[in-house]
Amino acid sequence: MDRAAAASTPLIVIEHLHKHYDTDAGPQPVLRDVSLRIEAGEFVAVMGPSGSGKSTFMNILGCLDVASSGRYLLQGNDTARLSGDELARLRNRFIGFVFQGFNLLPRATLLDNVALPLLYAGLPAHSREERARELLARVGLERYAGYLPSRISGGQQQRVAIARALVNSPKLVLADEPTGNLDSATSHEIMRLIAGLNAEHGTTVVLVTHEADVARFGKRVIHFVDGMVDSDQIAGATPASRALEASP
């Protein structure tokens, strides 16, 4: 991977990000002063115990949630300045989501599930179907195109979800515990698919997991503890070599 070319414009720049939830007991901090950069083409695994803020971090990265303070620049765009519809457009064209619970629409066929982002992108019906079939073929599930999600296995559902995440050719794929509901053999299969995306197409991948052997697929591992970046290291390198932004 040619890191030098992409380094001039980082895909993601996060500066002094804070996030707290308002509860009856007062504001509850979830993220505390997080700062980091992710270059285009990276494969980042985010780890940490439950409640460490890694899921909230992912939701903010995915423009599903907004920070309480701090800056989040996605390819140079300040996301705090974008309207709800502009964020929706960003999620549609720029980001692909893979969730732990697959999150397929239960009453839509696999083909319709994969084609749904294209509907919101405004593509005509025939090109939606053509593109969705192409993606289903890529994850090897073409022959189940007319099935409902409930008729296929969990691993297959996750592959459909990946096909849906990729259908608009996103620059960034966010995977939140994508193997959390799968057995280890299937987990490996899914992880090879995700790693292949990064290796073959240069798609930036940010992956949240608490399983060490899943995180091992990442080229860079960030640890969250208590809403702060605890460590940030290139896989196989010594700790702290990449933790430049974490402690200014």
Partner 1 sequence: MIAGMLREAWSAMGANRLRTFLTMLGLVIGVGAVVLMMAIGQGAQTLVREAVATMGSNLFIVLSGGTTAGGARTGSGTAPTLTLADAEAIGELPSVAAVAPTQYGSAQLVYGAANWNTQVMGVTPSYLEVREWRLVAGQPFTEADVRAVARVALLGQTVVKQMFGDEDPVDKTVRIRNSPYLVLGVLAAKGQSFDGRDQDDTVLVPLTTAQRKLYGSSFPGTVRFMMVKALSEEAMPRAERAIDALLRARHRIPPDGEADFTIRNLSAVADVQAQTTRVMSILLGAVASVSLVVGGIGIMNIMLVSVTERTREIGIRMAIGARRRDVLLQFLLESLIVSVIGCLIGVILGVAAALLVSRVTQMTVVVTAVAIGLAFLVAAAVGVFFGFYPARKAADLKPIEALRYQ
Q: Return the residues of window 41-60 that contact partner 1 according to CB under 8 A.
A: 59
CA dihedral (84, 85, 88, 92) in degrees, to 10, reads -170
List the one residue from 7, 105, 212, 240 that touches partner 1 (CB under 8 A): 105
10 vs 117 by CB, closer to partner 1:
117
Interaction between residue 125 and partner 1 (CB under 8 A): yes
7 vs 88 by CB, closer to partner 1:
88
19 vs 223 by CB, closer to partner 1:
19
Binding mask 60-89 for partner 1 (x = CB under 8 A): --x-xx------------------xx--xx
List the one residue from 108, 195, 225, 234 that touches partner 1 (CB under 8 A): 108
CB of 116 to partner 1, least distance (A): 6
6 vs 87 by CB, closer to partner 1:
87
Interaction between residue 171 and partner 1 (CB under 8 A): no
The residues binding partner 1 (CB under 8 A) are 59, 62, 64-65, 84-85, 88-89, 91-93, 97, 103-105, 107-108, 116-117, 119-122, 125, 128, 164, 168
